[in-house]
Structure 1
Amino acid sequence: MAVIAQRQGDHRPALHFTPRTGFMNDPNGLVYTKGVWHLYYQLDDQQLVAGRPEWGHATSTDLLHWKRHEKAIKAPSEHESIWSGCCVLDCNNTSGQFDESTGPDDRIVAIFTLHTQGHQTQNVAFSSDGGYTFTGHKHNPVLDIGWADFRDPKVLWHAPSNQWVMVVAKCHQFKIGFYSSPDLIHWHHLSDFEGSGVRGYQYEMPNLVQVPFDDDNQRKKWVLFLSVGPGAPLGGSFTQYFLGEFDGTIFTSDDHYLRTADLGKDWYAAQTWFNSPDGQAYGIGWASNWQYCNRVPAERYRSAMSLPRKFSIREVPLNEATKSLSLISRPVDLNIVRMASDDMPIAFTHGSANVKPSTEVIYQRHMRGSGSFEFKLKIKSGTSSAGVLVDIANPSGHSVRLDFVVEREGMFISMDRGGIRTGSSWHHPLFDDKVCMWVPNTQSIYDVHVIVDAYVCELFAMDGAYAFTNTFFLQDGVASILSVSQDTAGTEVFDVHELCPLQRDR
């Protein structure tokens, strides 16, 4: 219980990665080697607003327990900063920068954007100790087209064409550039992808990856993630994606449909891990939004990462007549952090559920105060309107509410995170009080999985076909009380677990 009390005082998530101090944004350099998942990230540890980032570094053996390390890549001067990028494992020493004293699994190469006022270039750095320290290439930059907004390289190995491929944002031209290299140092332009999706103000954080199908891991589809900010349909920043084919030179979108990777307000800059051990696609996003990230309540640090997710592809029905291939997002397995529970409801002892007079409370539980828990719902679809309310409250009675409105065509899921309900005195005009997602009526039951962790709520519906990530801020402590109500019979609450890993580094 001492661990819980410490975390309550700090109001930090238990599972969602946070920096020790300072401002964090985009995930960078995701790479797996020697049983370790490496997470690098944009970090300005000198202030609580976005400023002059460098690369922070954390590692995990299970994607749930994180250990922080010293900054991995620092800016060479006070007039420069290290912006987003990636890492790859150069096992075969294609770069020629490693000798036999460095084992193949320790040869990590970082490719990143060096930012100076009015100029952005792509640079490389080499690590011979498995990604803990890096040495910059003597002849940086390795790619410079003379532009001010040309950034966020993501590199993969394309085996059929026997080459490294970089995708990089030509931000204000609304293009994604594709470049090839035999050695990670000399780059040649292949093609540009443009003309699809939301353009907003700029393109950022591209990511190209092969994702396996849900029912056949040997069958894969190319997915091009593309972040836009500001200019998202819900406001601010968001991550869209395209399904298509990549032949080593050109990415061709299957249908140019705009697909949104997460329909909440707080999931941005999605990236995937290089060299995952089982051939699956694992990724992570930044759990915030550029509309208000510099202003959210903070004392020591700002922002969290989302939970890591496992991605797959599945055909999802959109209505009675049409199906579409979609990205499926599921949180990594949480079994190792689930606290033992008999899953029986406990009487409400603090606060109020604040339910509508017409609703019936079907489940109430008072947690032990961790602020981190999960639950699942099965909500019956139908031809008439019905509603389910989920109140997530702290002992002071402040809460955030999930509202499920079932209609003939589908179900609306909304989150009320406004100050009247949460009690938060913090206010920002672009921090929406209510955020909404819609799920079409294509099955007899809507399945919903919700994970609450201090101030981050991630919701997955229809077995991962829809994701909905939002932050919220409760006055007077983290949530520990769950109440579920309905106005029409047909809802089941199950798999309610508190989540409390033993933290390695706080």
Structure 2
Amino acid sequence: MYSTVVCLLSAWASLTAAQTSTYYSPGVPTAEPIAGDYTGVYRPRVHFSPPTNFTNDPNGMCPVVNGLVLLRHAYTRERMFKDANGTWHLYYQYNPTEPVAGNQHWGHATSQDLYHWENQKIAIWPPNNTTFVYSGSAVVDTNNTSGFFPNQTNGVVAIYTLAHQTTGAGVQNQNIAYSRDGGYTFVTYANNPVIDVHSNQFRDPKVIWHSATQKWAMVVSYATDFVIGIYTSPNLKDWTHASNFSHHGLLGLQYECPNLVEMPMLNSTSTMYLLQISINPGAPLGGSISQYFPGSFNGTHFAAVDGAARINDFGKDNYAGQFFYGIPGDENQVSLAWASNWQYTSLVPTGVTEGWRSQMSLPRRNYLANVTSIGYDLISTPYAIESIFAQELAYNSSLGNATLLLDYASTSGALYFSANITHLTPSTLQGTVNLTFTSSVSGEFISLGSPVNGDTWIDRSHTSGFENPYFNGKFSANGQFDSSTGTWSISGVIDRSILEVFVNGGRQSATNTFYSDSPLDTLRVGVAGVAGSAGVSVGVWALEDTWAQQADGNGTVVGNATMGSGGGYRF
């Protein structure tokens, strides 16, 4: 299990002299980005994946300060933020030496749109081979509450877990470091750790600024105690325990990656706080999953509306999702998640055939809405997906009860698809929509669909590239059409080896990886039994190959060797 995060700022004023350190693993470059071969048949084209070897969860976000939006991604989970120039920064838990979890570093990539990523050099590495850098977060200390930035308003403080393997069971404590150059180099605080409860299951701090109390607030996991601790601080260095949130929802084996974010409610001028907690193992389908709790936060205590477990995703490959917390609470929040599952992530075939494992989900927009009997549903849809449409492959605004066939072999292998049924009433709520993606070479396929008045299903069991007893093949979730508008819809993205599906405008979503021996290259959309009074529209768009513009003639992506060159991490 690995949990790490950091949210960092990219503001380029006040760059400091680069710091260097002796690195205990000299085979891993730290002065330039690690190059990656992005030609593999499983490589996603619009989802982020590391240049080589292994990544896992994203985690956490930072606030908007002076126009800067920061996102913390985790433990070798991604950490992200958006700087004043509109650049999103993603940091991620990264093992640069093997395609399996371990040897935690913080990788780094940047993007203008959350789809076209540029690999940067490793941002933070472990101080030795017996201490691991686990998850955490980072904030922009605009008012210099820490005292680290006497001549700056854009200094960054990272708050993270160090796991000390030399202390027997591996004590985990919370530490801070500060950066004056936009998050490329850090200096550790001389009086670390800032919180130490002498536990080997104490990790993943997420820090936010709570303006009403004018203090920093931290949520951190006492993992196997099923407790989320809440701490407060005036200066990021001195922390006071304020309260606990414990034993809510699904427990599994441990709580991980808490994330606290304020977000809007649909059809309301008020906002709510949402506390997201990931568990592993213990998901209903096995392995890892994330759950969320809507509620209120007063700076010291979080109160959930109830004790129910609300699950983010009805697929198998969505864990430790984190929000860009810096977005104002009355605007839709943006999130990413790690698109894999701890039950089999170190076994999937990409590590052997292509030298990398695991990817991030699509970036998503999120808000809360009271649209089902459980209330306070988290609505999740792709973030600005239309910005990477490369070509309209098919569109029919009046398909009716018919079939659409499409060959997409000449595209990047990444598609966005959408099917909508309108003018429905309770008496005409009938019919089915089914989509099948097939390999013309091997006949392998994945499929999904739904009766308009029933459950949405996904079936990945007919691909042959990976078999594992935990690699569940079939998934379903209850779906309800929008009675207020009389519509039912299903949409999503297929991207070589990952499928994300969104039902009824994001009321339900599912993330599933898949591995076929031969590429999927044909699509069949079939509609049947829909009432004649209803309208049926179907569209399919090819998506850009977002890595192609950076690749050389051999398909190798080198990354950016100039930004932050010469920097390092100083313990």
Q: TM-score, normalised by structure 2?
A: 0.79
Q: CA deviation at 1:331?
A: 1.0
User: Which residue number corresponds to residue 120 of structure 1?
Assistant: 172
Worse overlay, 169-178 or 205-214 = 205-214
Correspondent of 2:543 among 499, 503, 506: 499
| 2:432 and 2:530 in contact (8 A); partners too | no
**For residues 49-128 of structure 1, what are the structure 2 equivalents within 5 Å?**
49-100=100-151, 103-105=152-154, 107-117=155-165, 118=169, 119-128=171-180
| 1:389 and 1:401 in contact (8 A); partners too | no
Q: CA deviation at 1:49?
A: 1.0
Between the aligned partners of 2:403 and 2:179, the Cα distance in structure 1 is 55
Q: CA deviation at 1:306?
A: 0.4
User: Which residue number corresponds to residue 82 of structure 2?
Assistant: 32
**For residues 354-369 of structure 1, what are the structure 2 equivalents within 5 Å?**
362-367=403-408, 368-369=410-411
User: Which residue number corresponds to residue 300 of structure 2?
Assistant: 249
Letter matched to residue 83 of structure 2: T
**For residues 58-207 of structure 1, what are the structure 2 equivalents within 5 Å?**
58-100=109-151, 103-105=152-154, 107-117=155-165, 118=169, 119-207=171-259
Q: Specify the SS of the correspondent of 1:417.
A: strand
Q: CA deviation at 1:476?
A: 1.8
Between the aligned partners of 2:163 and 2:514, the Cα distance in structure 1 is 32
| 1:37 and 1:63 in contact (8 A); partners too | yes
| 1:89 and 1:275 in contact (8 A); partners too | no
Q: Specify the SS of the correspondent of 1:458.
A: strand
- Note closer, same or farther for the CA distance 1:7–1:55 as it changes in structure 2 (3 Å cut): closer
User: Which residue number corresponds to residue 48 of structure 2?
Assistant: 17
Between the aligned partners of 1:286 and 1:11, the Cα distance in structure 2 is 16
Q: Specify the SS of the correspondent of 1:306.
A: coil
Cα shift readout 1:459-498 (whole Å, capped 9, x = no counterpart): 1111111111111111122x33211124424583423100
Letter matched to residue 375 of structure 2: S
Letter matched to residue 199 of structure 1: L
**For residues 64-463 of structure 1, what are the structure 2 equivalents within 5 Å?**
64-100=115-151, 103-105=152-154, 107-117=155-165, 118=169, 119-216=171-268, 219-276=270-327, 280-298=332-350, 299-318=354-373, 324-341=375-392, 343-344=394-395, 362-367=403-408, 368-379=410-421, 386-406=431-451, 410-418=453-461, 421-424=462-465, 426-440=466-480, 443=483, 444-463=486-505
Q: CA deviation at 1:196?
A: 1.2
Q: CA deviation at 1:174?
A: 0.4
Letter matched to residue 494 of structure 1: V
Structure 1: gaps (5+ residues): 1-5, 346-359
Between the aligned partners of 1:120 and 1:70, the Cα distance in structure 2 is 26
Between the aligned partners of 2:412 and 2:545, the Cα distance in structure 1 is 10
Q: Specify the SS of the correspondent of 1:335.
A: helix
- Note closer, same or farther for the CA distance 1:249–1:85 as it changes in structure 2 (3 Å cut): same
Structure 2: gaps (5+ residues): 1-36, 59-73, 551-556, 558-571
User: Which residue number corresponds to residue 524 of structure 2?
Assistant: 483
Between the aligned partners of 1:104 and 1:36, the Cα distance in structure 2 is 19
User: Which residue number corresponds to residue 352 of structure 1?
Assistant: none
Q: TM-score, normalised by structure 1?
A: 0.88
Between the aligned partners of 2:42 and 2:56, the Cα distance in structure 1 is 19
Q: Specify the SS of the correspondent of 1:230.
A: coil
- Note closer, same or farther for the CA distance 1:502–1:450 as it changes in structure 2 (3 Å cut): closer
Q: CA deviation at 1:341?
A: 2.2
- Note closer, same or farther for the CA distance 1:385–1:399 as it changes in structure 2 (3 Å cut): farther
- Note closer, same or farther for the CA distance 1:340–1:385 as it changes in structure 2 (3 Å cut): closer
| 2:226 and 2:246 in contact (8 A); partners too | yes
Q: CA deviation at 1:501?
A: 4.4
| 1:8 and 1:370 in contact (8 A); partners too | no
Cα shift readout 1:433-479 (whole Å, capped 9, x = no counterpart): 212222135534321111111111111111111111111111122x3
Runs of 4+ in 1 over 6 A off after TM superposition: 380-385
Cα shift readout 1:395-420 (whole Å, capped 9, x = no counterpart): 3144433332427xx422222212xx
Between the aligned partners of 2:402 and 2:217, the Cα distance in structure 1 is 55
Relative contact order, higher structure (CA 8 A, sep 6+):
2
Worse overlay, 120-129 or 392-401 = 392-401
Between the aligned partners of 2:433 and 2:507, the Cα distance in structure 1 is 20
| 2:395 and 2:539 in contact (8 A); partners too | no
Between the aligned partners of 2:102 and 2:327, the Cα distance in structure 1 is 32
Between the aligned partners of 1:270 and 1:344, the Cα distance in structure 2 is 32
Letter matched to residue 467 of structure 2: H
Between the aligned partners of 1:162 and 1:484, the Cα distance in structure 2 is 54
- Note closer, same or farther for the CA distance 1:196–1:382 as it changes in structure 2 (3 Å cut): farther
- Note closer, same or farther for the CA distance 1:400–1:125 as it changes in structure 2 (3 Å cut): farther
| 1:199 and 1:228 in contact (8 A); partners too | yes
Aligned length: 474
| 1:400 and 1:415 in contact (8 A); partners too | no
Between the aligned partners of 2:311 and 2:445, the Cα distance in structure 1 is 24
